[in-house]
A and B are shown apart, each in its own frame.
Chain A
Amino acid sequence: MTDPDLCLEACDLSVRYGGRPAVSGVGLQARRGRILAIVGPSGCGKSTVLACFNRLHDLNPACDLRGSIRLDGQEILRSGLDVLALRRRVGLIVQRPNPLPLSIGRNLTFPLRHHGMGRRADRQDAARQAMQRVGLWEEVKDRLGRPASELSGGQQQRLCLARALVLEPEVLLLDEPCSALDPLASAVVEELVASLRGSVTILIVTHNLAQARRLADDVAVFWNRDGVGYLEEQGSADAVFAAPRSPITAAYLAGARG
Chain B
Amino acid sequence: MASSGAACFDRAIDTALALLAWLVALLVVGTIGWIVADLLRQGLPRLSWAFLVELPIDAGRSGGIRPILISTLLILGVCLAVSVPIGLATALFLAEFQRGHRGFGPLVRYSLDTLAGVPSIVFGLFGNAFFSITLGLGFSILSGGLTLACMVLPLLIRSMETALRAVPAEHRLAAAALGLPQRVSLLHIVLPAAAPGLAVGLILGIGRALAETAALLFTSGYVDRLPGSLLDSGRALSVHIFDLAMNVPGGASQAAATALVLVALVLLINGFTGWAAQRWLGSLSSAAL
A100-136: which have CB < 8 Å to B?
A: 100-103, 105-106, 108-111, 114-115, 120, 123-124, 127
B284/A101 in contact, CB under 8 A:
yes
Per-residue 0/1 for B64-89: is the Cβ within 8 Å of any A Cβ (1 yes, 0 no)?
Answer: 00000000000000000000000000
A144/B288 in contact, CB under 8 A:
yes
**Of A92, A101, A123, A127, which contacts B177 at CB under 8 A?**
A92
Segment of A71-79, A80-88, A237-245 in the binding face:
A80-88
How many residues of chain B get a CB closer than 8 Å to chain A's CBs? 24
| Residue B58 is within 8 A (CB to CB) of chain A in the complex | no
Q: How far is the CA of A105 from the CA of B288 in the complex (A)?
A: 5
Q: A59-B173, A102-B284 are in contact. Are A123 and B179 (CB under 8 A)?
A: no
A148/B285 in contact, CB under 8 A:
yes
| Residue B204 is within 8 A (CB to CB) of chain A in the complex | no
A100/B171 in contact, CB under 8 A:
yes
Q: How far is the CA of A96 from the CA of B284 in the complex (A)?
A: 21
B285/A98 in contact, CB under 8 A:
no
Chain A residues near B189: list those with CB within 8 A.
Answer: 100-102
Per-residue 0/1 for B268-288: is the Cβ within 8 Å of any A Cβ (1 yes, 0 no)?
Answer: 000000000000000011111
| Residue B11 is within 8 A (CB to CB) of chain A in the complex | no
Q: How far is the CA of A165 from the CA of B234 in the complex (A)?
A: 61
Chain B residues near A120: list those with CB within 8 A.
Answer: 289
**Of B172, B174, B181, B284, which contacts A84 at CB under 8 A?**
B181
Interface of B is mostly: helix
A123/B289 in contact, CB under 8 A:
yes
Chain B residues near A92: list those with CB within 8 A.
Answer: 177
Q: How far is the CA of A244 from the CA of B164 in the complex (A)?
A: 50
A105/B289 in contact, CB under 8 A:
yes
**B interface residues (Cβ-Cβ under 8 A, vs A):** 100, 170-181, 184, 188-189, 192-193, 284-289
* A-B contacts, 24 listed (Cβ < 8 Å): A59-B173, A83-B179, A87-B176, A87-B178, A88-B178, A88-B179, A91-B178, A94-B170, A96-B170, A98-B173, A100-B171, A102-B285, A103-B288, A105-B287, A108-B289, A111-B179, A114-B180, A114-B181, A115-B179, A127-B289, A148-B285, A164-B178, A167-B178, A167-B179
